[in-house]
Homo-oligomer: A and B are copies of this chain.
Amino acid sequence: MFSPIEWHIGAKGPVVRMLDQTRLPHEVIWVDCPDHQTVAKGIRDLWVRGAPAIGIAAAMGFALGAQAIKASTYDDFVRQLKPIHDTLAATRPTAVNLFWALNRMNILVQIHKDRSVEEIKERLIREAQTVHDEDIRRNVAMGDHGSKLIRDGDTILTHCNTGALATGGHGTALGVIFTAWETGKRIKVLVDETRPVLQGARLTMWELQHNKIPATLITDNMAGAFMKKGSIRLCLVGADRIASNGDTANKIGTYSVAVLAKAHKIPFYVAAPTSTIDFSIPSGDAIPIEQRSPEEVANVFGKVRIAPANVEIANPAFDVTPAKYITGIITEEGVFKPGELKRKLGRKRM
């Protein structure tokens, strides 16, 4: 299975190897991150992106940072882990998978406090790989559940990138599309280009092309017109954080798609692993929205400036879609209505 991130043993020791997705679709360039600072830079600069992949990168970055610690006592080890955790936690605020993965690594360290530092280091590597493996398994399960919602002949609108590139492999919303295609459903995908960083145009179109699935690229502002024409049977997007009540933070523009879908009576589904659900917050109002550099809007690929110099530009990277616009949330545990999340999944979470 293709994965955009992996734990790799290089000539000088372990590295986190990640595909620099900012260079896609024109160049396929892998970067070996030798330390957790480089992993943090990779997350911040979008070499790796997508909530599940960010979680995996954070877990691997944490394990990588731990390897470099020289400590003879557990307490010293834990003290030195703190800045590694903090550096990784400060990269991006919205995707909860980042904090979920770091929390999981911290818990592992606490559980094994009677073990030697070297053994804990070893277990951290294994845990990061487990985070990765579990993500793939969850995505495949999500694909099985979600693809039942897709009918032969459907045209599906998707936003941003939620494929193998956004995860440990296979994908979330795009993973559902892959599973539907693999099980013989003849479908078409309409892909929002997803300004400003163009994850739809660059990454989703690349993945769909590689998988030979019929796809048409549109600008984000065309989605409504295609809905009006009756061209879209359902919408399928991912999530960066889902609140207890089902409110969903996802790539900027998702909210507009959801409102348009409702106005056209088109089902709107979110696909995300349960690790994306944040049961600690009651509603989407509490989800922090990352404000990114105006340069992402003003300079396409950092190469072509599209606006006059010295103008004001807003760049919220995410928006929140209220639960009332969401037909269902596809998880590895099954498909749920937003209002069912807390009751059906809330208690299972660690």
Contact = CB atoms under 8 A, between A and B. Distances in A.
Contacts of A222: 252-253, 314, 316, 319
Contacts of A224: 253, 255-256, 259, 319
A293 interface: no
Contact of A306 (B253, B256, B260, B301): B301
Given A221-B221, A222-B319, A226-B314, 4 more contacts: A194-B221, A219-B220, A224-B319, A225-B256
Interface stretch (A54-62, A103-111, A195-203, A327-335): A195-203
Looking at A25, A259, A305, the one whose CB has the most chain B CB atoms below 10 A away is A259
B311 A306 contact: no
Given A195-B221, A319-B228, A216 B312 contact: yes
B304 A252 contact: no
Contact of A225 (B214, B298, B316): B316
A311 B200 CA distance: 12
Contacts of A202: 306-308
Contact of A195 (B219, B226, B298): B219
Nearest to A309: B25
Contacts of A255: 224-225, 228
A215 B319 contact: no
Q: Chain A interface secondary structure, helix, strand, loop or mixed?
A: mixed
A58 to B, nearest CB: 26
Contacts of A26: 305
Copies of this chain, count: 2
Interface in A242-265: 252-253, 255-256, 259-260, 262-263
Interface in A205-221: 205-206, 209, 214-221
A300 B298 CA distance: 12
B259 A216 contact: no
Contact of A304 (B221, B301, B308): B301
Contacts of A297: 193, 217-219
Contact of A219 (B196, B205, B320): B196
A281 interface: no
A305 to B, nearest CB: 7
Given A260-B256, A304-B301, A195 B220 contact: yes
Contact of A313 (B217, B300, B308): B217
A224 B298 CA distance: 20
Interface string A220-244: 1111111010000000000000000
A308 B204 CA distance: 10
A348 interface: no
